[in-house]
Every structure is written in structure tokens, then in C-alpha cells.
Amino acid sequence: MNIQEIEDRYLIPLYAKRDIALVRGDGCFLFDENDKRYLDLTSNYGSSLLGYNNTNYNQALKKQLDNIANAHSSFYSDTRASFLKKLHSIIPQEKSFLCSTGTESVEAGIKFARIATEKTGIISAKMGYHGRTMGALSATAIPKYQKPFLPLVPEFKHVAFNNIQDLEENLDENTAAVILEPIQGENGVIIPDKDYLQKVKELCEKNNSLLIIDEVQTGFRTGNWLASDYFEVKADILCLSKGLGNGFPVAVTAVTKEVSDNIPKGTHSTTFGANPLACCAGLVTLQEIENKNLLNNSKEVGNFLLNELQSLESPLIREVRGLGLMIAIELKQRVTPYVRELQEKGVLVMLNGNIMRILPPITISKQEAEMAIEKIKQVLC
């Protein structure tokens, strides 16, 4: 049996497969088992932020592995301390819970909001994506994901994204928190009005409710450390993951000191979260972003890609939108055949219905962006 046959034989068939087996990566390129090269505009669903085979990242992780891979959070760890110090020099929240995946960071955020406010209501946006465990799925208001698993966690309400009036009508004194992506990713890079999140925060404050901002996908790729910086809003609870570990599972639920003061000891935990290897991955990723000025690269190459894609003349394209290196090309029809053709031409993009999503490593160069545009042009124009 070959690689594909073995996986198909043993894995529960939950994923639509892409028909290639990835065996190695270098920079923004991935290579399959036949050594065919692909320009990776997916960064593994937004996680391989620095691309592949980054020397400083690899060396740091190998060294950490030789020292110690795991140390439970009930013990102190030098690497964890260094990571926390760096992380909190970047984000505005004062305290963190460290875990492993985006869904877990959301799940913790929902629990922290409920316990800190002693209230139960949670409001999220329709078609937003926050993960698929029962709590996170209750916030993920996408009918096709929720329907097979009803009933979900009680007291979740869903409002239209970027519609302050709908939120005003649903937010009340029982609302523990409003959870939102600052830019809806899975739904096709939907960017709200510049003042939407500030207005949401004001409404939350009026009702003694918390604002949870889910930056699992937007974190570190929109040209600022956080998309919250672009919208000039501070979350009471901030969820981070994906790019933070550059491919290694690292996640954070960061909270204000006030929220942290109201979370009693022993009310949440994880065995693997905050392990030194994960903390090392997080630390070196943040250092690389800073030392190589990669936020600026996201801005510059992101603007270049967006402008070039917006100027493509194609009867297939409905709209191109984005911020930094988070871009969607919305077609008038399903994208599957075009994504397949791009893959044959050596370019990988993400797909969902009519949306082609581009989330490349933030190390992508202008030349690589030009290569991507050329191939996309060949397929769509």
C-alpha cells in the first residue's frame, strides 16, 4: 500500500483529501513524495507562519528537546518564563493560560468568561468559526457544523456580524461575553467596519459583559501583531494559536488582570499545554517575527498581493478582499476545479465553497507573490 492507501485505510474519513503526500518543506515551498514543488499559500491552515525549515526555529527546538520536552504547569520552567515575558511584552492583556489548539483556547475563554462574571449567556456572530468541541461549536454558528450535534451548550445566542443593532437587541445583563473574530476567516475574510469592535466593547462595558476576541487565525498575519491593534480595541479575553507556534501546537487564552482575579485555582487545566517545547516554539516564532521585521513584510507583500489580485480581470471573480497576508478571492461559483488546477501548477490555496483563501507564510517575498499571481491569472483569467 502507498502513503495515501494506508491513511485512507486507517483514518476516519473526516477530511476532503488533496491527493498529495507532503514530505518536506523549505521556505514558502512544500515538496510531495515525488519531490514536486508547491508554493504554499496555505501555511498549513495559517499555522506555518515562518514557512518551513527555518534555521533559528529548528535549532532552538532541537536544543530544547535535548534539555526537556515536557514539564507540567504545576512546576516552573525557564523556557515557559521566557516565552511568557516575550508574549506579554507584545499583547495588552496581563495574564495567560497556555494550551495547545485554537479550539482549546476558545473553550477556556468561554469558561473563564462564565466563571469570572458569574453569568451564563454567550453571544457570537453568525457564520463565525471558533472550533468544534461542544463549547466552541456552540459559538461556531455555522448550521452545517452544529446541526448533527444538537443540542449544544445552552444560553448561546448568535447575531449578524458587523451589525451593532442586532447585538444591542440581544446583549443583556445575563450576557457573560461576546465572542468574535476581528475578521471572519473561515467565512471568507469578512472585514467589519473600522469602529465595529470598539462599539461592541462599549456595549459590553455597559452591561458588565466581557469581550472575547478570537485571533486564532488573524494573530500575527494582518500587518500588526494583532488585528485588534488595527481596530484599536483591547479584548478582555484574547484567543491565540495557529501561527504562534509556527506549526507546533501552541495556544494562549490571555485575560486582563481583573478577569484573572476572578478565576479560582483549579477550575481549568491541561496536561500538555505550556510544555517547554511548545513554549520554545512560541518564543522563537515571536523573536523571528520581530528580528526579521515580518509584520512589515505582511503589510507590504499583503498590499501588493491584494492590489494585484483586485486588478485581475476575470468573469469568474466576484470580489477580492483582505488585510495583510489574509486574503480571499470570492468566485461566482465553487472554487474546487480552480484550486485543483492551481495545485497541478504547483500552487496551494485553501478552499471553502466559492472562496479561495490565501494565508501564506509571512516570510513570503515579493518574487514569490508575483509567481502566485501569475499562476492564479493563468487559472482564473
Using CB under 6 A, list all residues that contact ligand PLP: 101-103, 106, 129-131, 181, 185-186, 214, 216-217, 241
In the bound state with ligand PLP, the residue whose beta carbon lies nearer, of 44 and 117, is 44
Minimum Å gap between C-beta 352 and ligand PLP is: 11
The single-letter code of the amino acid at 62 is: K
**What is the rounded distance in angstroms from the CA atom of residue 225 to the CA atom of residue 27?**
21
**What is the rounded distance in angstroms from the CA atom of residue 48 to the CA atom of residue 30?**
11
Minimum Å gap between C-beta 102 and ligand PLP is: 2
**What is the rounded distance in angstroms from the CA atom of residue 339 to the CA atom of residue 350?**
8
In the bound state with ligand PLP, the residue whose beta carbon lies nearer, of 130 and 299, is 130
Minimum Å gap between C-beta 176 and ligand PLP is: 18
In the bound state with ligand PLP, the residue whose beta carbon lies nearer, of 96 and 103, is 103
Q: Which residue is nearest to ligand PLP (CB)?
A: 102
In the bound state with ligand PLP, the residue whose beta carbon lies nearer, of 135 and 185, is 185
**What is the rounded distance in angstroms from the CA atom of residue 128 to the CA atom of residue 136?**
11
Cβ-Cβ contacts under 8 Å for 271 (sequence gap 6 or more):
72
Helices 78-87 and 276-291: angle between axes, nearest 10 degrees: 40
In the bound state with ligand PLP, the residue whose beta carbon lies nearer, of 216 and 301, is 216
Minimum Å gap between C-beta 310 and ligand PLP is: 24
Minimum Å gap between C-beta 215 and ligand PLP is: 7
In the bound state with ligand PLP, the residue whose beta carbon lies nearer, of 56 and 270, is 270
Cβ atoms of 92 and 234 closer than 8 Å: yes
> What count of other Cβ atoms lies within 10 Å of the Cβ of residue 9?
8
Minimum Å gap between C-beta 173 and ligand PLP is: 27
Minimum Å gap between C-beta 202 and ligand PLP is: 23
In the bound state with ligand PLP, the residue whose beta carbon lies nearer, of 132 and 377, is 132
Where helices occur in 171-318 by DSSP H, the ranges are 196-206, 227-231, 257-261, 276-291, 294-310
In the bound state with ligand PLP, the residue whose beta carbon lies nearer, of 216 and 284, is 216
3-state secondary structure 56-116: HHHHHHHHHHHHCCCCCCCCCCHHHHHHHHHHCCCCCCCEEEEECCHHHHHHHHHHHHHHH
Cβ atoms of 291 and 355 closer than 8 Å: no
In the bound state with ligand PLP, the residue whose beta carbon lies nearer, of 214 and 368, is 214
Alpha carbon distances (Å) from 317 to 1, 85, 329, 339: 41, 45, 7, 14
Nearest to 93 by CA among 112, 111, 74: 112
Cβ-Cβ contacts under 8 Å for 315 (sequence gap 6 or more):
332
Minimum Å gap between C-beta 78 and ligand PLP is: 27
Minimum Å gap between C-beta 241 and ligand PLP is: 5
Instruction: Record the cell numbers describing residue 192, joined without a space.
Output: 467589519
